[in-house]
Structure 1
């Protein structure tokens, strides 16, 4: 509840000291006033009125301003905003799209939708939580570097403390593992644990770790997760869930009283493992194409992500590929690799899908993205951090777009 501008009008006709007294006489909690220019037109008023736990403010010639809320609600909103930045939203979107896309590829006209939806929710929730844990570990060990390269991140800016970061990482990883264990899916559990292990090896400053210092090991971590583990893990998780549900439906017997036993539990675990192995052995050619294509894309992202961070990495002694070869050379390598990957995808789109419509959409879609990639690259100044950052985020958009096309290969 801000007061109207009329409350300030009489004050403008008074000397500055009497103006303050006038506002106080109105029982307003007058904070300060200052001149930003000659005459009363340059006088800037600032005041707040406390109403319960809220603080309502006005400044600048008495115009009402949005209220600043204090108390638990304000703290919760601010923490949620910092958690959003801490989660690195562009990686969260990539994870969500990859899980959904690969799961749809695995469906391939399957009937048991209840099992499919359950498997998708298990995979999506646990993958997003594990994503927060992995990017959080990286931020915890890169605070000093991020103060130069990414000062807007919560730990680098100080809006979150390292202790809060550790708590977020531990809670996220714990919940992800719990969901994986509760699902009873060996494929999902293995995907989560291997991803977490590689995230630790990539970021943690311990002997034989901190693989991000090595361009080859850093690229290996990222491509192993994005290109191999995610594709095969979530595809196998979905196929095993569908096959198990279909098998159970086909051999359904009259309902018997449910009796928990270790034998039944062991039989369920054995069936889940068997379903996982069968799904791996029965991978279709389209799945292998997706794995190899995303392998190229993941290598490019692994190299590209270090391009905007050359200054901070060089100061910290982190000899990434751009530090060693130079920004321009690595930029050209990345663009060339992605162009080759799109050309190969255009060829594969003519062979893999059975539908003529799918062939056409995939061919035109990959050609269009290749054109966008090359057209945008011409305008990039590799000496500009802003240009490299913008192009890197554009590559992530292409990465997202690919997951929109992947289900059509099935």
Structure 2
């Protein structure tokens, strides 16, 4: 599956792409080797973790926390209401993340046997029924939290994310937008760059507004803060780059499945260069914002310094990529995700 740019956690070794059969046989052999209950439980937990796509879980946790911190106006906002709103948002968002990436795996079993044989549905560790049960259960759990919270921004964010996940992955009439490069990119961009920023920001602001008795007008004035506007713009560029780059390592499986991604249509070299250009544009804009838009010296120093360092790291790392190697492209793709995480760590400092 490739929903939301998903892939295996960067720190975990993975089988070579296309080497599905040996991996599947190994999984079956382990299951038939007389495991103890403890060993079986450990194996099921490991499979579930892989099913959740750990790096997307990390990205969701970091992004929700970062955007929530942006919603703080001053130290007086830090309190029980803030903590509760963040915890509610995190639990609901992580559950929905599992549902969305799981849905993609349910519909991508055959493709994943070529591109990602380590995923539990592709390897046979989980049955299709188990996968569907996890997808449905986590979606309902997430939506239940949204309803119970009474937060309209949170509920709208969860519903919008789920609908886009269905449009992206489900093999139904007029759906499975991942087959169309522009629609696929728009799905990822909408969730990562817009819905997450605006939805969770306003969820926390709503909770704080109710808690401190502020007028609603104040919340919408704050919604135009520098950090939120910059973060949305930066993540638009980054999300487009991720949406394009995620298909580069999977070009073999996509060609066999007849999925005409931009990587298949335009070639690896063009897409690789286009993605790098988008990422560098994002870092150049960040440095400009730091120099000309930030209001305090420490924010200016952090914004300019950190983004300059990350931009240089991107240039250096991109020079080592072997475009003919799926593993090399995959490694660089995971590096882009690390840059994505890093940006959310920096976002609360842009004031």
Aligning the two structures, in what range does the TM-score lie when normalised by the shorter sequence?
0.7 to 0.9
* Aligned residue in 1 for 2:52: 87
Deviation at 1:349, TM superposition (A): 1.2
Deviation at 1:171, TM superposition (A): 1.0
Deviation at 1:241, TM superposition (A): 0.6
Q: How many residues align?
A: 318
> Separation in 2 of the partners of 1:330 and 1:388?
12
User: What does 1:293-332 align with in structure 2 at a 5 Å threshold?
Assistant: 293-332=234-273
User: What does 1:205-354 align with in structure 2 at a 5 Å threshold?
Assistant: 205-247=171-213, 275=216, 278-279=219-220, 282-354=223-295
> Separation in 2 of the partners of 1:277 and 1:221?
31
CA pair 321-277 structure 1, distance change in 2 beyond 3 A: farther
Greater helix content: 2
User: What does 1:151-170 align with in structure 2 at a 5 Å threshold?
Assistant: 151-170=117-136
Deviation at 1:353, TM superposition (A): 2.8
Note if contact 2:202-2:223 (Cα within 8 Å) is conserved in structure 1.
no
Instruction: Kindly provide the CA deviation profile for residues 333-352 of structure 1, in whole angstroms up to 9, marking residues without a partner as x.
Output: 00011001100000001233
> Separation in 1 of the partners of 2:103 and 2:256?
21
> Separation in 1 of the partners of 2:35 and 2:104?
32
What RMSD, in angstroms, separates the aligned Cα atoms of the two structures? Answer: 1.7
Structure 2 residue 159 is the aligned partner of structure 1 residue 193 = yes
Instruction: Kindly provide the CA deviation profile for residues 201-234 of structure 1, in whole angstroms up to 9, marking residues without a partner as x.
Output: 0000011100000110000000000000000000
Greater strand content: 1
Q: Out of 66, 81, 87, which is 1:101 matched to?
A: 66
Note if contact 2:205-2:219 (Cα within 8 Å) is conserved in structure 1.
no
CA pair 246-204 structure 1, distance change in 2 beyond 3 A: same
Note if contact 2:60-2:94 (Cα within 8 Å) is conserved in structure 1.
yes
Deviation at 1:97, TM superposition (A): 0.4
For structure 1, the 5+ residue unaligned runs are: 1-67, 249-273
> Separation in 2 of the partners of 1:108 and 1:342?
26
Q: Out of 96, 99, 110, which is 1:130 matched to?
A: 96
Deviation at 1:276, TM superposition (A): 9.6
What's the TM-score, normalizing by structure 2?
Answer: 0.87
> Separation in 2 of the partners of 1:322 and 1:111?
49
Note if contact 1:227-1:291 (Cα within 8 Å) is conserved in structure 2.
yes
For structure 2, the 5+ residue unaligned runs are: 1-32
CA pair 303-233 structure 1, distance change in 2 beyond 3 A: same
CA pair 82-280 structure 1, distance change in 2 beyond 3 A: farther
What's the TM-score, normalizing by structure 1?
Answer: 0.75
Deviation at 1:275, TM superposition (A): 4.6
CA pair 276-76 structure 1, distance change in 2 beyond 3 A: farther
Is the radius of gyration larger for structure 1 or structure 2? 1
> Separation in 1 of the partners of 2:194 and 2:158?
13
Deviation at 1:69, TM superposition (A): 8.8
